[in-house]
Amino acid sequence: MLLIINRPFINLYLIPRINTEVSTQGMYGEAVTLITEKPNGWCQVQTADKETGWVKRNTLSQTDYQSHIYSVKGLFAHLYRSADTTISPPLMTLPFGAKIKLSETVDPLSRWFPILLVTGKKGWIQRGDIDFSPTPKPFSEIFSLARTFMGIPYTWGGTTSYGFDCSGFIQMLFKKLDYLIPRNARDQVNWEGFYSVEPSSLAPGDILFFGEGKIGHVGLYIGDGQFLHAGVRDGVHAVGISLLKKTNYTFISARRLRISSTLPLF
């Protein structure tokens, strides 16, 4: 059974209990597959990228959420009860990329657009918060996309603009460019869409993998000996830029997408 996430984002836990390790996250409007359900309100689900975890059943809705779907354009977007920012506070604040369902009849010139919430109720969103160009972007745009998330806090298991972990950040970038790569760095390094690159031949757009004996961190090479990642840099845990020569992460290997190689510098 397919269910739709009805919260801005949800944690998928390794075991059915709050305050335990998070395996990954899902965001509003995304579909998950129900695997099993317990009487105490917990259910095990699988995400589109084949990750599994435990969530509370009330964070999911069974609804038709297919046609007239668009994505949140900015880092965050408020949903409102009415077409007014002053009458009441936002219903919820959605992260970048969250899926929203527009009503079938909308005025393209309006400031406000009516939407159908996952729960079946009605809400409103402002036009500037909607990505009306959902077509895949060229890979060269990965740099400008990555730049918009500078300073977003590092969050273990994070896959949204509320907070990313290293592999969740890289996966999100590729997903926006229409490449569904594995969720975790240890699997990303072996993804069939990448090929190995020698350290002496690094080019902007290459994906760098780090670790001590095994893969434990990943980042995007942006040229000039620098990489962008969700991790630690100068004591700050956030998305930012580090120098390969000065990072605390131990470089292991690099991979390149199977398209034409050299891209513009970040």
Q: Which residues are catalytic?
A: 166, 217, 229
Q: Do the Cβ atoms of 24 and 13 come closer than 8 Å?
A: no
Rounded-to-integer distance, Cα 54 and Cα 14, Å: 6
Residue type for position 221: Y
Task: Let me know the angle formed at the C-alpha of 8 by 168 and 157, rounded to the nearest 5 degrees.
Answer: 25
How many other C-beta atoms can be found within 10 angstroms of the C-beta atom of residue 62? 11
In angstroms, what is the C-alpha Rg of the chain?
19
Contacts of 15 (CB under 8 A, 6+ apart): 21, 54
Q: Where do we find the tokens 């690159």?
A: 197
